[in-house]
Structure formats: structure tokens, C-alpha cells
């Protein structure tokens, strides 16, 4: 994560570090005369030093100013020349020695092309210049109720100017275009994760990312697809809502939900957005300044809350968030001061670079939390699987113990039954045999003795049959269906043979059938 963050900072810083690398080869024009037709003395030319700004107190929403700059050229040469305007609010057109030259600025009439964060380039043939003094004319169109502004003008050959222009475009356009696209992707990814997990912190982070991606369009879109007033409302509302939604996200990241405080913040934010939409045109940017001031107060509150949470928890994650939020607060104050300054020396808005970097830091922290949670869940799943396997083994062991106890109980009951059967059946027969034997010994009649002996023999057979029945009622480990059929065939013949009856017993036994038990036989 640290390597990715340093890579991002190096990527962003490279544009600034190289933006002026070849500026020594350029002519920097800063002394000019300016004519403002919409001002009270609109027909008088005044001296001005670039960068130059006119205030919002001048009348006229779509005001224009004309600048004239004089430059001495010794030898124009044969190579094409270019004019480079690093910063302008909102648009500009060039002319060299009263000859208009094309540039990439777009429309100069309402609706104006928005180039407040885009360098303008105008190239022309060297034949438009002549040795000695040359006049560069610059016409600037802006929203006078806000302010108009123009930076120093750079002049040089095409080979010297174009590389500087490309680096400025990279630093002030390409980075933000890529950042806005990444923020949309980030919002969709975090939104999908919120949809799956329903974590409210992820929801507010996705909304914050989407809101900043929308406000980033104010930098990269040159010709808005809607009326200027509606576009300004959408941009100013979205950029002010970024710290609001970010604060709600940070609350939930700290496992806090101050409902009353959040309702107050959202209520004031809604009032500002509605006021921006409905207020008179000449009050729009005044309300915008108040709205941005309120947003800075919310960022200050968020920084204090994060700092207090870090002081309590000493969490490195909240230390990173605290540093990032502090940078955002400082950059926001810088940009507000630059807007109200009558003639700022610098024209770079830093907040545009800080918030996407902060959102990237937060996204990496969320991804880190997600990875940790996934690893924890995986560990829990493995532990759960081990516990399930252990429980299954325990259940199987308990089942075997219960089955053994049931078998032991059944064996005990079977022993009791056998004992009762032996006592009732075999005991009675044995007692009867003893009585008949005693009577036969005292009886002198041979016939009576034979009858007694016959009766004793029959009872002895019954006793033997009783014993065999008891023995066969016990389970044997090799008991199967074939053995059971053989026993039935034997007993049928044994019982029917004395009565001159024929016994036939036919079976169809599956040799793969499971062994039988005495309970099943019965």
C-alpha cells in the first residue's frame, strides 16, 4: 500500500516538477494594458501586471476584457511560434499584430467554454512577427459576477512551447480525468461491496467517491451539456457535499452514529443546495462562498473527531486518515484564500489534487480491512470445519457406544428370557420325568412301567427340543439366510416325520443379502 501511495505522489508531482523545465527558453509577458468594456470607465485603457484579476463587484455576468502586450523580437526566424496561456478564467482568444490566431479555447460567447483549469495554446507562422516591436492582443471572457483572471503570457517557438503545454495539460487535465474515472470505478466497486455486506461505512464512502467524481467534471469538461447556471449548481453542490458525506463515512468508520448532529449537517447542506438552485443570479457565487466555508467547517470538525479517535485508540489507520484530512483542510483553506484574494500570485487549486489521493488512501485502508476480514473468515471456516469433523467423530463414537449399550441391554434381556424359559419349560419337564421315574420304580406292573418309560422318553425329547430351541434363539456371528433356511428345513422334518407327513421347504436366497439377526428371524 505504501509503495502505491508513493507512486501516486510521484506521478502527481512529476507534472509540477517538469511544468517549468523549459520555460527559460520562453518569453514571459507580464506588462499589459487592459480595457474592460463592462466597467464604469469601460472606454479607458489601464496599465495592468499579469497575473491580473477583476473582481465580482463589476456589473455584467458575461463580461470580457481586452489586453495588449508589447514584445520586441530581434529575428523571428522560420519556425512557427506559439502563445501559451497557462491559466485563464474562463476563456481567451489570441491575436498577433491584429491578426487573430486559432487556439484550443472554444466558444468566447455564452455559453462560454470552460478553460479555468486548462492551459490555452495558439500557434502561428513566423511571418506574423516582424523584427522590433510586436503587439499581442488577448481577449478574455469570464463571469464578471464571480471574477475574471489571466496569468502571464508565454511566447516562444513551437519546439519550445509545445512541450511545456503538454506537461501543463498532463498536470492539470490528464491527472484529473484519470482520477475522475478511477473514482467512478472505486464508487462502483465499494457500492457493490456495500450491496453484498450492507456495511453503512462503505455506502457513504461510495457516495463520497461518486460525488467527487461528479465535481471533477468541472475541471475536465470544456462545454457542459446543460445550461451554465444548472451546471454551476451541480458542480458547486457536489464539491460541497464531498466533506459532508466524508464526515458521515468517518463517523461509521469509528462505529459512531450521532443522529442529531448528522441530521443538522444534512439539513444545512440541503438548505444551501436549494438556495444555490433558487437564488438570484448575482447572488449565486456569494452563496457559493458561504457554502464552501461551511464545508471547510465540516472538514475541521471531521479532523478533530479523527484526531480524538486516534488519541484514544492509537490506531495507525486513523493516523493516516488524520494526516490526509489535515492536508485536505490546509488545501481547502488555501483555495478559499486564493479565490477571495484580489490578485493572487499563484493560480493552482490544490484541493483538486488532495481529495482523490485521500480517497485512494481510504480505499486502500478499506481493502486492507476487507483482506483482513476475508482471512479471518477463512480461518474461522477452517476452524469450523475442524470442529464439524470433530463433532462428527464424537457423534459416531457416541452412536457406537449407544449401539453397544443397546446390544448389551438386548443380551441381558435375552438371558433373562432364556432363564425364564429354562425354568418354566425344561424345569417342568425335568420335574415331571423325575416323578414318572419314581412311580415306575415302585410299580411292579411291566406294562405300566413301559408306559412310564415311554412318557419319560417323550418328555426327554421335548426337553432336548426345548434346549435346541433355546440354543438356536441365540445369535451367532456367522448367522445368514442360508443357515436360517437349513434350520427351518430340519425342524420341519423333525416335527412331521413322527406323524408320517412329508415336509418340503423351498427357498430362493440372494447370496449378497445382509446377514439376519434373531430379532429379524422372529
For residues 433 and 304, which has the higher predicted lDDT (pLDDT)? 304
pLDDT in tens, 203-224: 998 998 899 889 888 888 888 8
**Closest residue by Cα to residue 145 from 10, 31, 46, 287:** 287
**Residue 5: pLDDT band with limits 50, 70, 90:** very low
pLDDT at site 146: 65
The rounded distance, in Å, linking the Cα atoms of 269 and 243 is: 11
Percent share of the chain, pLDDT over 70: 75
pLDDT at site 264: 94
2-164, what's its fold?
Answer: Jelly Rolls (2.60.120)
For residues 518 and 402, which has the higher predicted lDDT (pLDDT)? 402
pLDDT in tens, 66-76: 899 999 988 88
- Pick the range with the lowest mean pLDDT from 163-167, 490-494, 501-505: 490-494
pLDDT at site 254: 86
Q: DSSP for 433-449? A: HHHHHHHHHH---HHHH
For all residues of the chain together, what is the average pLDDT?
79
pLDDT at site 342: 55
Place of cell 490555452: 120
pLDDT at site 422: 66
**Residue 80: pLDDT band with limits 50, 70, 90:** very high
Q: Is 341 helix (H, G, I), strand (E, B) or coil?
A: coil
For the record, the C-alpha cell of 61 comes out as: 455576468
pLDDT in tens, 437-475: 776 676 666 676 677 677 777 777 777 666 666 666 655
pLDDT at site 516: 55
Has residue 500 got a pLDDT over 60? Answer: yes
For residue 515, the tally of other CB atoms under 10 A from its CB is 14
For residue 480, the tally of other CB atoms under 10 A from its CB is 15
Q: Where are the domains of the chain?
A: 2-164
| 365 contacts: CB under 8 Å, gap ≥ 6 | 317, 320, 321
pLDDT at site 18: 44
How many CA atoms within 13 Å lie on the side-chain side of 316? 4
Q: Are strands 153-157 and 81-85 parallel, antiparallel or unpaired?
A: antiparallel
pLDDT at site 423: 66
For the record, the C-alpha cell of 399 comes out as: 452412536
Q: Are 122 and 83 in contact (CB under 8 A)?
A: yes
For residues 464 and 199, which has the higher predicted lDDT (pLDDT)? 199
pLDDT at site 234: 93
- Pick the range with the lowest mean pLDDT from 53-57, 79-83, 160-164, 288-292: 53-57
pLDDT at site 171: 84
Has residue 11 got a pLDDT over 70? Answer: no
- Pick the range with the lowest mean pLDDT from 256-270, 271-285, 341-355, 446-460: 341-355
pLDDT in tens, 86-99: 988 888 999 999 89
pLDDT at site 347: 56
Average pLDDT over residues 45-73: 75
For residues 45 and 509, which has the higher predicted lDDT (pLDDT)? 45
pLDDT at site 265: 93
Amino acid at each position: 500500500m505504501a509503495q502505491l501511495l508513493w507512486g501516486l505522489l510521484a506521478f502527481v508531482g512529476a507534472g509540477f516538477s517538469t511544468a517549468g523545465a523549459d520555460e527559460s527558453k520562453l518569453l514571459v509577458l507580464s506588462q499589459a494594458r487592459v480595457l474592460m468594456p463592462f466597467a464604469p470607465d469601460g472606454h479607458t485603457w489601464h496599465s495592468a501586471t499579469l497575473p491580473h484579476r477583476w473582481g465580482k463587484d463589476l456589473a455584467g455576468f458575461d463580461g470580457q476584457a481586452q489586453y495588449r502586450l508589447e514584445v520586441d523580437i530581434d529575428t523571428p526566424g522560420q519556425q512557427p511560434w506559439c502563445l501559451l496561456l497557462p491559466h485563464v478564467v474562463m476563456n481567451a482568444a489570441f491575436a498577433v499584430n491584429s491578426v487573430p490566431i486559432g487556439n484550443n479555447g472554444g466558444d468566447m460567447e455564452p455559453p462560454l467554454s470552460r478553460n479555468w483549469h486548462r492551459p490555452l495554446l495558439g500557434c502561428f507562422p513566423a511571418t506574423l512577427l516582424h523584427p522590433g516591436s510586436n503587439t499581442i492582443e488577448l481577449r478574455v471572457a469570464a463571469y464578471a459576477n464571480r471574477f475574471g483572471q489571466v496569468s502571464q503570457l508565454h511566447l516562444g517557438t513551437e519546439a519550445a512551447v509545445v512541450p511545456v503545454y503538454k506537461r501543463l495539460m498532463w498536470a492539470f487535465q490528464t491527472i484529473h480525468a484519470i482520477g475522475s474515472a478511477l473514482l467512478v470505478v472505486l464508487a462502483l466497486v465499494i457500492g457493490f461491496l456495500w450491496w453484498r455486506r450492507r456495511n453503512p461505512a462503505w455506502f457513504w464512502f461510495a457516495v463520497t467517491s461518486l460525488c467527487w467524481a461528479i465535481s471533477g467534471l468541472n475541471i475536465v469538461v470544456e462545454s457542459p451539456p446543460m445550461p451554465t447556471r444548472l451546471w454551476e449548481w451541480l458542480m458547486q453542490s457536489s464539491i460541497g457535499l464531498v466533506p459532508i458525506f466524508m464526515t458521515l463515512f468517518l463517523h461509521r468508520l469509528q462505529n459512531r452514529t450521532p443522529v442529531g448532529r448528522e441530521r443538522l449537517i444534512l439539513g444545512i447542506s440541503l438548505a444551501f443546495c436549494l438556495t444555490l438552485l433558487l437564488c438570484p443570479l448575482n447572488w449565486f457565487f456569494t452563496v457559493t462562498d458561504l457554502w464552501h466555508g461551511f464545508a471547510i467547517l465540516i472538514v475541521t470538525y471531521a479532523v478533530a473527531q479523527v484526531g480524538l479517535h486516534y488519541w484514544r485508540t492509537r490506531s495507525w489507520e486513523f493516523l493516516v486518515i488524520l494526516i490526509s484530512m489535515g492536508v485536505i483542510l490546509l488545501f481547502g483553506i488555501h483555495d478559499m484564500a486564493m479565490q477571495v484574494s484580489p490578485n493572487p500570485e499563484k493560480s493552482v487549486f490544490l484541493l483538486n489534487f488532495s481529495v482523490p489521493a485521500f480517497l485512494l488512501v481510504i480505499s486502500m485502508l478499506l481493502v486492507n480491512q476487507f483482506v483482513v476480514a476475508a482471512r479471518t473468515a477463512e480461518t474461522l471456516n477452517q476452524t469450523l470445519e475442524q470442529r464439524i469433523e470433530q463433532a462428527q467423530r464424537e457423534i459416531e463414537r457416541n452412536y457406537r457406544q449407544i449401539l453397544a449399550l443397546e446390544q448389551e441391554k438386548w443380551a441381558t434381556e435375552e438371558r433373562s428370557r432364556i432363564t425364564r424359559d429354562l425354568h418354566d419349560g425344561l424345569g417342568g419337564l425335568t420335574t415331571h420325568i423325575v416323578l414318572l421315574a419314581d412311580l415306575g420304580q415302585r410299580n411292579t406292573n411291566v406294562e405300566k412301567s413301559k408306559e412310564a418309560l415311554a412318557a419319560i422318553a417323550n418328555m426327554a425329547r421335548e426337553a432336548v427340543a426345548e434346549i435346541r430351541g433355546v440354543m438356536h434363539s441365540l445369535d451367532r456371528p456367522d448367522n445368514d439366510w442360508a443357515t436360517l433356511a437349513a434350520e427351518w428345513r430340519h425342524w420341519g422334518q423333525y416335527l412331521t416325520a413322527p406323524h408320517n407327513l412329508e415336509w418340503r421347504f423351498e427357498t430362493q436366497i440372494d447370496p449378497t443379502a445382509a446377514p439376519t439377526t434373531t430379532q429379524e428371524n422372529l
